[in-house]
Structure 1
Amino acid sequence: MPIAIRRILVLCEGNHCRSPLAEALLRRALGPVSDVRSAGLRALVGEPAHEETQRQGVELGLDLSAHRGRQVTLDLAKRADLILVMDRAQKAACEALAPSVRGRVFLLGQWLSPDRPEIPDPIRRSAEDHRRIGDHIQGAIQTWLPRLARRNP
């Protein structure tokens, strides 16, 4: 029987662009059966989501206005059943922070084509880049949903 995945943590660098969007998309898709949170490895603690991220959220029917940046902690990582990161460096940093989470840390783009598993940081890039990266995040989440549904009866 598959292991239930109820607590999902999404990480990026600042918890300002990528992870807030991914968190909101996963929360909407999975509903109340899952506890989805986001944090940053070098978070902009207390800061709202980037304005382009908020704008894209509105276009997708998501309200990110209440989001505030949070720093990942050892406790937060250890509580997660699944940790999704944006790139390989973040995977290594997360596993170094909490070695006991090895085996639960995956790239958000894990199931995308082999040439696109990492999701680049849109910070200090154009609005079009933010949109393209947001689309990349949406596509990556779509690849996770069937896998998560099989694990969560």
Structure 2
Amino acid sequence: MKTGCTPAIHRILVICEGNHCRGPMAEAMLRAALPPGIQVASAGLNALEGLPVDPEVSRLMAEAGLDVSGHAGRQLTEELLLAADLVLVMDLPQKAWCEATTPSLLGRIFLLGHWRPEGAREIPDPFRQGAEAFRTAFENIHLSVSDWLPRLAHEQRSA
């Protein structure tokens, strides 16, 4: 590895609130776009453990050609956090919580929307907000994932 380069990213963890809507969408989009050598997982701060994605998420993802039928909500643990090379969260309170809980991860925790314009970096939770909120979250997650892809590809070439 070159001096001054960051370590290669092999494990990405996406964090949301319930691991029922935003996290599974981002996980599936990243997994589909990244090489198989990069593991992508998701978990929730207050996960709906064992439950499938929201039906609206399933519908939107199927329209996009992505299958999330095998997803089961998973609670975030310290072990999951520590195993991640990159942690992507949906909003600033989640970022602050992760940094306060696991200070050794400072510098590895970012908003999924980190590269989006100011004011569009956080992705609100669509849970129980109706189809339009889900569509907006889907579009914001898609844009955010697209913004990360060239940076992650560069990371893999530098490793």
TM-score under structure 2 length normalisation: 0.94
Secondary structure of 1:32's aligned partner:
coil
> Which shifted more, 126-135 or 103-112?
126-135
Q: Which of 129, 132, 143 is 1:128 aligned to?
A: 132
Q: Deviations over 1:12-63 (max 9, x none)?
A: 0000000000000000000302000000011111010111111111001111
Partner in structure 2 of residue 118 of structure 1: 122
Q: How many aligned positions are there?
A: 153
CA distance in 1, matches of 2:119, 2:100: 25
Residue 45 of structure 1, aligned match among 49, 55, 62: 49
Separation in 1, partners of 2:107, 2:35 = 25
SS, match of residue 117 in structure 2: coil
Unaligned runs of 5+ in 1: none
Q: Deviations over 1:116-143 (max 9, x none)?
A: 0100000111112101110000000011
Which residue in 2 is equivalent to 1:24? 28
Alignment partner of 1:94 is 2:128: no
TM-superposed CA distance for 1:98, in Å, is 1.4
SS at match of 1:70: coil
Aligned match for 2:64, one of 60, 63, 71? 60
- Report percent identity of matched pairs: 54
Structure 1 SS opposite 2:27:
helix
**Runs of 4+ in structure 1 over 3 Å off:** none
Deviations 1:40-96 (A, max 9, x none): 011111010111111111001111111000011101000100000000000011122
Could you say what the CA RMSD is over the residues aligned between the two structures, in angstroms? Answer: 0.8
What is the CA–CA distance in structure 2 between the aligned matches of 1:7 and 1:119, rounded to whole Å? 22
Of the structure 1 ranges 124-133 and 83-92, higher mean CA displacement relative to structure 2 is found in 124-133
Which of these residues, 111, 124, 145, is aligned with residue 141 of structure 1?
145
Letter in 2 for 1:28: A
The whole-number CA distance in structure 1 between the counterparts of 2:44 and 2:133 is: 20
User: Which whole-Å CA distance do the structure 2 matches of 1:87 and 1:33 have between them?
Assistant: 27
Could you tell me the TM-score, scaled by structure 1's length? 0.97
- Looking at CA atoms only, which structure, 1 or 2, has the larger radius of gyration? 2
